[in-house]
């Protein structure tokens, strides 16, 4: 398999962690979707990372779809339960974590624009999304039902990757205030070899 993307992307990190946890051998192709010379559109028509090329040469794209496809393979550990409703609950938390990444990425990209072209109102709107999303993840982590339980699952991986991105880009640096369950989740996940091997490069 070949994974296309770069480790500054939390979505790419999520898939990399899943592949490492499942012990699936893969080649990593470091590609930026923002470069004019990018080959990413060859694998994903939308020009976004990650994309994963399987052993049959088929390209899979969008991190949630790739994660779902990887669950169809016989490799363990399974990151979604067999119960359909439980799996949907976990997938919804994955979507919540990815949405936090979407909002953070918007802020990062906006801050790269000339100051006079930035929209403070839109950045504030995205920060509110992040705060609400983190509060929802905190409640889920505190309950321990679908997040922060005893076994590794897709929701936990996605949430840890999202917070890792907030740390990396210094978006919402006080995310940990009054969110002890999320702090526990992050500390637990960041100790895993799969997370240690996918730390974003220094900015």
Is 3.40.30.10 the CATH number for 2-72? yes
Distance CA 52, CA 139 (A): 32
Q: What is the pLDDT of residue 36?
A: 80
Domains 2-72 and 84-193 agree in fold: no
CA distances from 100 to 103, 105, 115 (A): 5, 9, 23
Strands (E), the chain: 2-5, 27-30, 51-53, 59-61
Q: What is the pLDDT of residue 86?
A: 97
Mean pLDDT by 10 residues, the chain (203 residues): 95 98 97 86 95 97 98 98 97 98 97 96 98 98 95 98 97 96 98 97 74
Note the pTM of the prediction, 2 decimals.
0.96
Per domain, the residue ranges of the chain are 2-72, 84-193
Q: What is the pLDDT of residue 203?
A: 58
Which CATH number does 84-193 carry? 1.20.1050.10
Give burial (CB, 10 Å; 0-12/13-18/19+) of 155. buried
């Amino acid at each position: 398999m070949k994974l296309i993307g770069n480790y500054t992307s939390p979505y790419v990190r999520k898939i990399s962690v899943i592949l490492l946890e499942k012990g699936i051998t893969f080649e990593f192709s470091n590609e930026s979707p923002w470069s004019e010379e990018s080959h990413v559109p060859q694998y994903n028509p939308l020009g976004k990372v990650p994309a994963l090329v399987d052993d049959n040469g088929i390209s899979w794209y969008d991190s949630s779809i790739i994660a779902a496809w990887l669950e169809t393979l016989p490799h363990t550990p399974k990151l979604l339960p067999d119960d359909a409703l439980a799996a949907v609950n976990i997938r919804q938390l994955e979507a919540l974590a990815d949405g936090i990444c979407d909002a953070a990425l918007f802020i990062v990209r906006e801050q790269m624009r000339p100051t006079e072209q930035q929209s403070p109102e839109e950045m504030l709107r995205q920060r509110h999304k992040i705060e609400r999303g983190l509060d929802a993840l905190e409640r889920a982590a505190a309950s321990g039902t679908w997040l922060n339980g005893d076994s590794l699952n897709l929701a936990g991986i996605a949430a840890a990757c999202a917070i890792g991105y907030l740390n990396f880009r210094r978006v919402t640096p006080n995310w940990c205030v009054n969110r002890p369950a999320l702090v526990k989740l992050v500390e637990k996940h960041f100790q895993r070899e799969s997370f240690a091997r996918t730390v974003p490069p220094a900015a």
